[in-house]
Structure 1
Amino acid sequence: MIKILYNQCIILLFTLIMVNNAFANGPALTGPMKKFDTTPLSERELALDREITWRDKYNHILSLDNFKGKVVLINFWATWCPPCVQELPSIDRLQKKIGGDNFVAIAISLDRGGKKIAERMFKRLKLKNLSLYLDPTNASAQKLNIRVMPTTIVFDRTGRRLGKLEGKIEWDEPEPVRLLKYYINSTNRQNTKSVNMAN
């Protein structure tokens, strides 16, 4: 009897470990999110992530620190890139759907023509929920080793990279929204645990 109980406990423990490992990095990546690369980065690469800067339409310099406390989706795009232009409306809809205190979508134009050319595209696409951000020197894209346009990177509330997706998808489809909500909710739980442990 004790041996049977012992074996059942071992099987249960093994099952719990497997389930925990399966969900350690988030839900299964399905549909368009199969391309979402969650490969861990080296400390050097993580440091470069924290160094990236870009400008808003008023020419103020911004970084991930300006958005601490939010899950951040950064999309690198340009007007000369048809897949980028096709993808932008879905990011605008995503910002409308889940943007707020816990999440922000940031679309950074890499156009060398700067603000005027990017603003024209925002108007043409009737983007109403995204703010205009610029990196005409491509400095941030170079630091992040952006090789494909568009490229989208998701960061947690502390500015740590969660994953990267190269190429175009519809960001307001169920799979991307589900993954982003998972990151929002899981970091909410982690922040709550940290506060509770501090008290």
Structure 2
Amino acid sequence: MEIKNIIFDFGGVLMDWDPRYFFKNYFNDNERMEYFLKNIAQDEWNIEQDRGRSLAEGTEIQVKKFPEWEKEIRAFYDNWTVMLKSDIPQNVEVLRKLKNTDYNLFGLTNWSEETFPYALENYDFFQIFEGKIVVSGTEKLIKPDPKIWHILLERYDIKAEESVFIDDNTKNIEMAKSLNFHTIQVDPETNLEQELIKLGIKIG
């Protein structure tokens, strides 16, 4: 079946976000930083904010659990914009080329509803999606929950079999495959343009 739709995850695909960009200088001690990110401000905690919990509530919950780390926990979202280092230029370039084609372009991202507007305002390439973006924090659902893909499919009246989904996360890719999407898993070495061409995508 011909591919008509191209769906982008954002973090790790179009945006380079990593808490280490802030905490490396904050701690000046890699071992302590890694301990903090693995055990205190871990992914499982941050993803609840992506699921729709407010940053303030998430922060207070963690401060109560780990009062001795209060200063560091509060620094997390206070310095979130430093963690959003930049776009990923080679992949954004592919997105810009796709703008001039007949493919429908969508975003499907695990992102807090409170922090996503900052990215929208500061990176112009998001305008290419013309608002066709499903944000986990708004929907109160996160990948790899299949329901968030169904929201995208139903909202924009598209079919998984006619869509390619691009993400850096293995679990998300596996779920998308099980829902009949074509998939591309990216890492820093991936040539996204070549991977799309392999699927028969004609890039302008």
Q: Structure 2 length normalisation: TM-score?
A: 0.36
Q: Looking at CA atoms only, which structure, 1 or 2, has the larger radius of gyration?
A: 1
Structure (1/2) with the larger helix percentage? 2
